[in-house]
Amino acid sequence: MELYEKLTEYCEAKLTLYGFANLEENKEAVFLDQLKRYDYAIAIGINIPDNIVDNLDTDEGRKKYLEAYTQVNNLLNENASHIVEIIKQYGFNAVNVDSSYILPGENFVGEISHKLVANLAGLGWIGKSALFINPYYGPRVRWATILTDAALPVENKRMKSRCKSCRLCVENCPVNAFDDKEFSEDVSRDERYDAGACASYFDRLESMGKPRLCGLCVKVCPWGLVNKNSRKKEDKI
Ligand code: SF4
Ligand code: SF4
């Protein structure tokens, strides 16, 4: 079996969503110089169950979300490690880019943009909320990425924003972190989203003895709601 078929078979069985991207012309998705030598990427996603996201407006719901967040991150890392092993068995190099690692500093960015990779793979778009929005799961998915030098037979299918006139995340954010701007490569994330305001709000919640999380932008996005009944895969956690 060819590597691409093997990877597709694995991802289909184990993940909620997955896709392949060619990074040759898209190195802006990679922030860490050591990782820029990999030309191909696999975006993998696991959904956070609806019964957890739908309760993000309560302290109890936020506690459950934090538990689910850790479970999903662990599962993503486990699957990413398996995928790396599969690729290595075929004689190529691959690395698992941790889904939750943030580079030191004030910018709140990771080693790569998992969202840009998933966007190149045609899995959705970056919303006004700076979250990745999939047409079937909305922002209710956590993402990880595997980078490889194996030349996978993929063409990028970048999806354009479907946020349009929706403002639900903008209006529901308690600290007005969003500027009502659709994603554009010409507009920096800082101009669309104030990550510092969101982080300070989390700090404030924690200092009040509450769960260190908000997540209202995840809960209210209509793309996470409208297609609930058309989702085909079982929850993974
Ligand atoms: S998590 Fe809450 S505070 Fe942070 S950006 Fe989303 S809605 Fe705003
Ligand atoms: S809530 Fe509306 S504007 Fe915000 S990300 Fe979702 S679709 Fe886009």
Show the 3-state SS of the chain.
CCHHHHHHHHHHHHCCEEEEEECCCCHHHECCHHHCCCCEEEEEEEECCHHHHCCCCCHHHHHHHHHHHHHHHHHHHHHHHHHHHHHHHCCCCEEEECCCCCCCCCCCCCCECHHHHHHHCCCCEECCCCCEEECCCECCEEEEEEEECCCCCCCCCCCCCCCCCCCHHHHHCCCCCECCCCCCCCCCHHHHECHHHHHHHHHHHHHCCCCCCCCHHHHHCHHHCCCHHHCCCCCCC
* 213 CA to centre of ligand 1 in angstroms: 8
Residue 173, ligand 1, Cβ within 6 A: yes
The ligand 1 atom nearest the CA atom of 216? 7
Q: Which of 62, 133, 193, 216 to mutate to test the pocket of ligand 1 (most atoms within 8 A of CB)?
A: 216
Phi, psi of 112, deg, nearest 5: -140, 170
Residue bearing the CA closest to ligand 1, atom 4: 198
What is the count of structural domains for the chain?
Answer: 1
Residue range 189-209, pLDDT digits in tens: 889 999 999 999 999 999 999
User: Has residue 165 got a pLDDT over 90?
Assistant: yes
Residue bearing the CA closest to ligand 1, atom 3: 198
* Within-domain flag for 237: no
pLDDT band at 149 (very low <50, low <70, confident <90, very high): very high
Model pTM score: 0.94
* 136 CA to centre of ligand 1 in angstroms: 21
User: In terms of residue numbers, what domain contains 144?
Assistant: 3-230
224-231 long-range CB contacts below 8 Å, 24 or more apart? 224/50, 224/53, 224/137, 224/138, 224/139, 224/140, 225/138, 227/135, 227/136, 227/137, 227/138, 228/50, 230/136, 231/47, 231/136, 231/137
Cα–Cα distances in Å, from 94 out to 17, 38, 59, 100, 122? Answer: 20, 8, 40, 18, 21
Other Cβ atoms less than 10 A from the Cβ of 26: the count is: 18
Nearest ligand by distance to the CA of 203: 1
Residue range 77-120, pLDDT digits in tens: 999 999 999 999 999 999 998 766 554 454 555 788 999 999 99
Residue bearing the CA closest to ligand 2, atom 7: 163
* Within-domain flag for 236: no
Beta strand 94-97 pairing with 141-148: antiparallel
pLDDT for residue 33: 85
pLDDT for residue 93: 97
* Within-domain flag for 65: yes
Residue 133, ligand 2, Cβ within 6 A: yes
Beta strand 17-22 pairing with 141-148: unpaired
Nearest ligand by distance to the CA of 139: 2
Name the region of 205 (left: φ>0; alpha: ψ -120 to 50; beta: rest): alpha
Q: Which of 56, 66, 217 to mutate to test the pocket of ligand 1 (most atoms within 8 A of CB)?
A: 217
* 179 CA to centre of ligand 1 in angstroms: 12
* 160 CA to centre of ligand 2 in angstroms: 13
Residue 175, ligand 1, Cβ within 6 A: yes
